[in-house]
Amino acid sequence: MKKSTLLACSGLIIIFFIVVSLGNRTKVYEKQERYNTPEEAIVNFIGYINSYEEVKSKNTYYHVTPNEFFESISKRYRLYLGEGNGNRYINDQVPVVHSYELEEVSLNDLVNLKVNYEDSFKGMMNYKGHSEVRVYKLDALASYNFSVDKNSVNKDGTVDKVNYMEETKVNDIEGIPTEIYLVVVDEGEGYVVDYYNIIFK
């Protein structure tokens, strides 16, 4: 084979790989805000996972996931969700939280959570695990199957039950005691929620 033919074939192969690698990129929300403590990420996660923001387009309004939610989750979680504003859950539905107590717990003490979290990395080639993994437990009073206007979310991530009932036009909401375990990591852009698990009491 001539040297010029070999160079031309090599050039075509390189161009092919460049086009392939750039052509199939998934757009992922780029974080704008840095949370310096895990609690900041947790507050935004629980507050905005079930909320919506009303946006006007031409002559109609539609609901989108607020950016505050995307700011609180890890890059792989954002990648999992993609660009769509549909499903926000990687496991069970996260309830609307009306009140909670927060405490840090050890991942090693929670065998099922640890196994599930480690299994969530399977099939993810070239993804580095995190050196600092922190787990928080929320003992929460919560309700399910509702979404809320993002303006109804309090600074601590809770949603006031009375206002919530008025907004959803429900006569009574029974708060369900729930444990929410949140795995929080620092990806270099501040703390974010990377994984969660819900346990009903």
pLDDT in tens, 123-158: 777 777 777 899 999 999 888 767 788 888 889 998
pLDDT value at 16 more than 60: no
Q: Is 41 helix (H, G, I), strand (E, B) or coil?
A: helix
> Is residue 18 assigned to a domain?
no
Residue 41 makes CB contacts below 8 A (sequence gap 6+) with 35, 72, 184, 190, 191, 192, 193
Mean pLDDT of the 10-20 span: 59
Domain assignment present for residue 52? The answer is yes
For residue 68, give its domain range.
29-200
pLDDT, residue 138, reads 94
Residue 1 lies in a domain: no
Q: Report how far apart, in Å, the C-alpha atoms of 145 and of each of 13, 39, 129, 136, 174 are.
A: 51, 25, 33, 23, 12
- How many domains is the chain built from? 1
With respect to residue 19, please indicate whether it lies within any of the assigned structural domains: no
Q: Which residues are within 8 A (CB) of 11 and not within 5 positions of it... i.e. 6 or more apart?
A: none
Cα–Cα dist 199/181, whole Å:
8
Residue 11 lies in a domain: no
Q: Which amino acid is at 97?
A: V
User: Is 9 contained in some domain?
Assistant: no
- Which has the higher per-residue pLDDT, 62 or 142? 142
Q: Is residue 135 part of a domain?
A: yes
